[in-house]
Amino acid sequence: MLNYLIVLLDQASTSFCYYTNPAFSKNNSSKPIPYNTLNRVVNYGLKNSLMINYLFGIDPLPDKYQKLIAKSQHVKILPARAFDHFSDEEVVLVINESELEFAKTLEDNFKQNIILRFPKSNLPELSAYIELLINKCRRLNLNLLDINKYDTNDLEEYKRQLDLIYDIVEDRYLSGHSVELSFISDRMMLSEMNNCNAGLTHLTVAPNGKFYLCPGFYYDDVNNSVGDLNSGINIKNQQLLDLEHAPICRICDAYHCKRCIYLNQKTTLEINTPSHEQCVVSHLERNTSKLLLDELNTRLEVFHDQEPIPEIDYLDPFELAKKTPGKKQNFTKKVSHGQQKKYEQSSDRELLLKILDQQDKILKLLNSKTK
């Protein structure tokens, strides 16, 4: 069920995820979405009770655009360089690969949600950036750029960084603070898949008024559209996007993984089959969450309500099928019909709210223990 739209307000809108907007990267000048198109998107959202995530560029939009945006239930997502225009509002701030220096200038009381789009070339500095930002935001989402190009050395380096981040997160919990890092703490709170769900719970509207599965599909080829504001949504083979039709993902318990269909089709040419690199990255994170959850459960009795994360001996669920041909049958067993239904019905927002609830509960318990 469609819950929200992502709207590209400018040809040079910031990215917020794995894909790249070439016009933003090249600092192209601003070219806002036509006002009439935005008007139609806002009305479409209102008519269909959809939340709208607006992706801003660097330049401010005219006042009449801001007034239109204010009519919809929305979230503003903007690049770090545009923050000055919105410093008195609640926003989601994207620190892009070209804006890492911005992280060093943030005040301690910043406390907005941050998306960190982290370049492969800076990987050895990742834990230092997390240490810098962990106190200065409510929630941090990490998107490792170019994970499809990670080789064995990069994956080993990422594991080293996760070990360092483990210590940072553990210290923070032990000193009575809760933590929200998409790649570590989310998995500790999840007991079902919480993927991106592009094409299922959200669609993107580009400045040309057409729908796309996500912005990455638009930037790759404008002909990738799946309908438009006039004729409606038309997704061919939509069933291929859901978990039921993803044979590797449906036996997996790296529940926090984005299961990015944009990266899937780029790397494996199959929208429902992830690359080895995407799986290994998610499993390194999942295993760090497991160690942290076990350790915190021993040291602080505040995580006992969380489902334990089992020990596993693989980093890519595909290895399960290779090692034990019989396990192939489990590809159809692991997610029961009931679970699948629950997964399809719950939006990622609902799951995030569940995570927030758990975080609140844990924070209260932590506070009572460290008083």
For residue 216, state whether it binds ligand SF4 (rule: CB under 6 A). Answer: yes
Taking the least distance from each CB to ligand SF4, the nearer of 32 and 274 is 274
185-221 core/surface letters (b: 16 or more CB in 10 A; e: else): bbbbbbebbbbbbbbbbbbbbbbbbbbbbbbbbbbee
Taking the least distance from each CB to ligand SF4, the nearer of 237 and 298 is 237
Can you point out the beta strands (E) in 162-280? 202-205, 211-212, 227-228, 232-233
Binding mask 186-215 for ligand SF4 (x = CB under 6 A): ----------x-x---------------x-
Torsion from C-alpha of 192, 140, 52, 203, nearest 10 degrees:
-50
Taking residue 344's Cβ as centre, other Cβ atoms within 10 Å add up to 15
Binding mask 306-345 for ligand SF4 (x = CB under 6 A): ----------------------------------------
What three-state secondary structure class fits 181? strand
User: Given the rule CB under 6 A, which of 85-93, 256-264, 272-280, 346-354 is the region that contacts ligand SF4?
Assistant: 256-264
Give start and end residues of each alpha helix (H) in 207-260: 215-220
For residue 258, state whether it binds ligand SF4 (rule: CB under 6 A). Answer: yes
Taking the least distance from each CB to ligand SF4, the nearer of 246 and 263 is 263
Taking residue 151's Cβ as centre, other Cβ atoms within 10 Å add up to 10
Q: Which of 262, 317, 347, 362 binds ligand SF4 (CB under 6 A)?
A: 262
Binding mask 9-48 for ligand SF4 (x = CB under 6 A): --------xxx-----------------------------
CB of 174 to ligand SF4, least distance (A): 32
For 28, counting Cβ atoms within 10 Å of its Cβ (0-12 exposed, 13-18 middle, 19+ buried), the class is: middle
Looking at the DSSP bridge assignments, the partners of residue 79 are: 94
CB of 17 to ligand SF4, least distance (A): 3
User: Given the rule CB under 6 A, which of 56-64, 146-154, 259-267, 350-358 is the region that contacts ligand SF4?
Assistant: 259-267
Distance from C-alpha of 173 to C-alpha of 193, rounded to nearest angstrom: 24
> Phi/psi class of residue 333: alpha, beta or left (left: φ > 0; alpha: ψ in -120 to 50)?
alpha
Distance from C-alpha of 320 to C-alpha of 11, rounded to nearest angstrom: 43
CB of 329 to ligand SF4, least distance (A): 29
User: Given the rule CB under 6 A, which of 95-103, 152-160, 258-266, 358-366 is the region that contacts ligand SF4?
Assistant: 258-266
CB of 219 to ligand SF4, least distance (A): 10
Residue 143 parent element (H or E): strand 137-144
CB of 356 to ligand SF4, least distance (A): 20
Q: Summarize as ranges the residues that interact with ligand SF4 (CB under 6 A).
A: 17-19, 196, 198, 214, 216, 258, 260-263
